Amino acid sequence: MSDTVLLDYCPKSLPSTCYLDDSWFKREQATIWSREWIYIGRQNSFAHGMLHRKNIANCSIIICCNVHGQLSAFHNVCMHRGAELCPGISAKMRGKLITCPYHAWAYADDGRLVSTAFATPTEDFDKSKHELKPVHLKTWNGFLFACLAETPPEFAPDLGLDALNNWPMSDLVVGHTVQKTMNCNWKVFWENYNECLHCPGVHPELTKMVPVYSRGIMSKQEAATWDGDREGRNLREGAQSWTVSGMPCGPEFPNLTPEERDEAHRFVTFYPTAFVVAHVDYARVVSLQPIDAESTLLTAEWLFDPKTLAQPNFDLAHVTDFATGVLEEDATACEWNQRGLRSPAFKQGRLMPQEFYIHDFHKWVLERVSKDGSLVPSLD
């Protein structure tokens, strides 16, 4: 095939030390997680008039959602003597102010220091020099991302900014959340996400739902042969969405094209933090938070039109059980992989031509980690 995406050689994978060593993990925290856009939640899930505490790369930040729903973000630290502004998961704002719980210094929601409360500074104290340290925010389709870098990189989902324009994404609300600590490095999860060679062995239900996955491939570009008529639809005969029965869980989104309906699942990827899957009737966002070199918190949120959730006979488990099962299978496979990586008999693997997305991901990681000026391993 002329439009093949398969690699024409078998590159090396990353050495096992990149999945095990604390020093490598810290390099990634500094060069990737502290510099890229990181998903922190759905914009409409932040309650108004509240501070919300989040963690990025072991750095605590606060999202300030004022009474009008306008968002700003800062490092979670008071400029007086460095106490946390929001010691719990969330805190109520005092009117329009962010107030430190320790000695009550108060800041406006744009970070300006407004009051030093009971303390009266002398003239040498310039309030404008003690503003909160801001964190960049970006909203896309109702998803909120934060970036700790002073100059953030371009916000660039792999399928482009318009990929979900036909879905009413901003209106969708979280109807269900699953969290799981996976005993694997965060990169193991992305590697598993990036190939379907494991699908026939690991996903018995998913391969029935998406027949092409049973061939170990995800797309036309990977196939030696492709029967367009038979495979124009991604899902098995009679199925329209990723639910237990294959039936949609509510009204289908009205503005999708016939091709988008046949596609049935559009995956949009945001390294290193999350992917979104949009179906004809609902969507899902899966995000990662590395805990240490060998463990990662996975969060999956199911997003629905509020009208779908309000249906009198709405069966949430009928929707969520299917993808939860797939995620559990993937997490189990990731943990097999991580445990094997600890073996002294394994130092570095080789990728197959079908693992072109993984190779791209490895290059993406190394390009960033190398920015600290230290050596990175070779993949050749």
Nearest to ligand FES of 105, 357 (CB atom)? 105
Q: Is 330 in the site for Fe ion (CB under 5 A)?
A: yes
Question: 294 contacts which partner out of Fe ion, ligand FES, none, CB within 5 to 8 A by kind?
Answer: none
Quote the CA–CA distance of 365 and 24 in Å, as a whole number: 11
Per-residue interface string for the shown chain with ligand FES, residues 19-58, x marking contact by CB under 6 A: ----------------------------------------
Quote the CA–CA distance of 109 and 98 in Å, as a whole number: 7
DSSP-derived secondary structure for 315-327: -HHHHHHHHHHHH
Which residues are 276's β-sheet partners? 268, 285
Quote the CA–CA distance of 37 and 354 in Å, as a whole number: 28
Helix and strand numbers (H, E) in the chain are 10, 15
Quote the CA–CA distance of 300 and 319 in Å, as a whole number: 13
State in angstroms the smallest separation of the CB of 267 from Fe ion: 12
Nearest to Fe ion of 164, 210 (CB atom)? 210
Q: Is 267 in the site for ligand FES (CB under 6 A)?
A: no
Amino acid at residue number 64? C
Segment lying near Fe ion (by CB under 5 A), choices 103-111, 157-165, 328-336, 346-354: 328-336
Question: 130 contacts which partner out of Fe ion, ligand FES, none, CB within 5 to 8 A by kind?
Answer: none
Residues 56-115 that bind ligand FES (CB under 6 A): 78, 80-81, 83, 100, 102-105
Angle at 163 between CA 160 and CA 168, to 5 degrees: 140
Q: What's the DSSP call for residue 94? A: B
The residue number whose beta carbon is nearest to Fe ion equals 330
State in angstroms the smallest separation of the CB of 79 from ligand FES: 8
Residues 32-51 that bind Fe ion (CB under 5 A): none
Nearest to ligand FES of 121, 232 (CB atom)? 121
DSSP-derived secondary structure for 4-18: ----SS--B---THH
Quote the CA–CA distance of 252 and 265 in Å, as a whole number: 13
Nearest to ligand FES of 102, 314 (CB atom)? 102
Nearest to Fe ion of 102, 267 (CB atom)? 267
Residue 40: C-alpha distances to residues 33, 61, 92, 145, 223 (Å): 12, 10, 19, 6, 36
Question: 286 contacts which partner out of Fe ion, ligand FES, none, CB within 5 to 8 A by kind?
Answer: none
**Footprint on this chain of ligand FES (rule: CB under 6 A):** 78, 80-81, 83, 100, 102-105
